[in-house]
């Protein structure tokens, strides 16, 4: 039996699982019940696993093939978001103010579907496949949490993962080699001025004006310091300041993110931002504090792993299912796995205007065409099988 023959067999299983998990989203590092439900499914399959005891969320399972060989991993993230769902569907979120608005419910279901498929063909597998169900991708730290758990990461020769993606048509998958998702930095700027009466600005140091100037001056980094052919994003997401309409604010707090692919740019960003922030604050008579940290490095697909994944797409879904997608400035902590192991991160398309599957990730109207999920399961399973066969002794 071939994996492509199992896609239809597990169509309902994967879809129904996704709809179950969609109803019970849990936030990063709180996915205890989600982990238990995953464990229940693995128990039914007879697949051994270990739950990460540090926070009782996240687990690693393993399927041993019928032949000796190396080890490879498949990864799914499992956390939801602080989003109130607006979709009117029978499987709407039951956890108020929480929603699987990024599709991680689909990732759980696809990996469990892949587990079923791998078991059906396990006698033909050379080596073993680790199944990694990872919490806290939305915080950018869940992958390191799982790397530190057990010895699975040291054992594997490669890792495959993916994300359902709005920019890819339903039924198609993008698995190009090279840069796929950007590095992500996060920062906080605190501006300290001197508050006073709104009618007497000369007696104050206006934190709102200073913060506004910092916002505008930071934009020159992208437009004037870095090569226009080398993508960089610098976004101020929040600016909080002031208490009343007729009071000049003495304090302001700004938060934002940076995105880039070139690691040399990443090294320069912090220093350049700090210089502009401090000099601008000084020019307005204020002072500033600046905190900056890297959330995730860039996600870069290995050439060989990408070729294996492309072959898997062709085998399971046909050559027309391959989709070429430009790299994206979004970030993904799958990149932590790729720092020391080759890997491939896939974009599994679900965009289908006919059923309203057109809203972006993190939207409270986010919905998908979940008929495509078992195909994603098949590609995951086939990628693992083919990598192991390619690397068998």
Query: Which residues define the annotated binding site for Mn(2+)?
Result: 102, 104, 138, 163, 362
Give the separation between CA 254 and CA 349, rounded to whole angstroms. 35
Q: Summarize the annotated binding site as residue ranges.
A: 102, 104, 138, 163, 362
Give the separation between CA 122 and CA 44, rounded to whole angstroms. 16
Q: If phi over 0 gives left and psi between -120 and 50 gives alpha, with beta otherwise, what is residue 229?
A: alpha
Three-state SS for the chain is CCHHHHCCCCHHHHHHHHHHHHHCCCCCCCCHHHHHHHHHHHHHHCCCEEECCCCCCCEEEEEECCEEEEEEEEEEECCCECCCCCCCCCCCCCCCCCECCCCHHHHHHHHHHHHHHHHHCHHHCEEEEEEEEECCHHHCCHHHHHHCCCCHHHHCCCEEEEEEEEEEECCCEECCCEEEECEEEEEEEEEECECEECCCHHHCECHHHHHHHHHHHHHHHHHHHCCCCCCEEEEEEEEEECCCCCEECCEEEEEEEEEECCHHHHHHHHHHHHHHHHHHHHHCCCEEEEEEEEEECCEEECHHHHHHHHHHHHHHHCHHHECCCCCECCCCCCHHHHCCCCEEEEEEEEEEHHHCECCCCCCCCCCCCHHHHHHHHHHHHHHHHHHHHHCCC
238 class by beta-carbon count within 10 Å (0-12 exposed, 13-18 middle, 19+ buried): exposed
Q: Supply the angle between the helices 32-45 and 104-120 in degrees, to the nearest 10.
A: 20
Task: State residue 22 phi and psi, 5-degree precision.
Answer: -60, -30
Task: Show Cβ contacts of residue 151 under 8 Å, excluding neighbours closer than 6 positions.
Answer: none
């Amino acid at each position: 039996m071939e994996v492509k023959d199992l896609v239809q067999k597990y169509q309902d299983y994967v879809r129904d699982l996704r709809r179950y998990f969609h109803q019970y989203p849990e936030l990063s590092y709180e996915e205890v019940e989600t982990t238990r439900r995953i464990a229940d499914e693995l128990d039914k399959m007879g697949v051994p696993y270990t739950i990460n005891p540090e926070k009782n969320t996240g687990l690693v399972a393993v399927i041993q093939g019928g032949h000796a060989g190396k080890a490879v991993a498949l990864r799914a993230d499992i956390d939801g978001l602080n989003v109130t769902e607006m979709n009117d569907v029978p499987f709407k979120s039951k956890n108020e103010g929480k929603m699987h608005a990024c599709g991680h419910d689909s990732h759980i279901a696809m990996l469990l579907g892949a587990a079923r498929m791998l078991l059906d063909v396990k006698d033909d597998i050379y080596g073993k496949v680790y199944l990694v169900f990872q919490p806290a991708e939305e915080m950018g730290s869940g992958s390191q949490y799982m790397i530190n758990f057990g010895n699975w990461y040291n054992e594997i020769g490669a890792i495959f993962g993916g994300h359902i993606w709005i920019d890819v048509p339903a039924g198609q998958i993008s698995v190009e080699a090279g840069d796929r998702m950007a590095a992500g930095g996060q920062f906080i700027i605190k501006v300290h001025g001197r508050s006073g009466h709104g009618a007497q600005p000369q007696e104050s140091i206006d934190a709102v004006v200073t913060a506004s100037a910092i916002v505008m001056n930071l934009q020159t980094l992208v437009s004037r310091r870095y090569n226009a052919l080398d993508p960089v994003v610098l976004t101020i997401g929040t600016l909080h300041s002031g208490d009343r309409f007729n009071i000049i604010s003495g304090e302001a707090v700004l938060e934002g993110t940076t995105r880039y692919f070139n690691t040399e740019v990443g090294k320069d960003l912090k220093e350049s931002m700090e210089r502009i922030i401090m000099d601008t604050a000084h020019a307005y008579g204020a002072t500033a504090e600046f905190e900056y940290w890297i959330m995730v490095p860039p996600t870069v697909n290995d050439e060989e792993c990408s070729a294996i994944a492309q072959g898997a797409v062709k085998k399971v879904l046909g050559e027309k299912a391959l989709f070429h997608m430009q790299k994206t400035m979004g970030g993904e902590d799958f990149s932590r796995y790729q720092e020391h192991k080759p890997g491939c991160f896939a974009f599994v398309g679900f965009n289908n205007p006919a059923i309203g599957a057109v809203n972006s990730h993190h939207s409270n109207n986010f919905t998908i065409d979940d008929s495509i999920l078992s195909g994603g399961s098949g590609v995951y399973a086939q990628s693992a099988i083919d990598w192991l066969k390619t690397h068998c002794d």
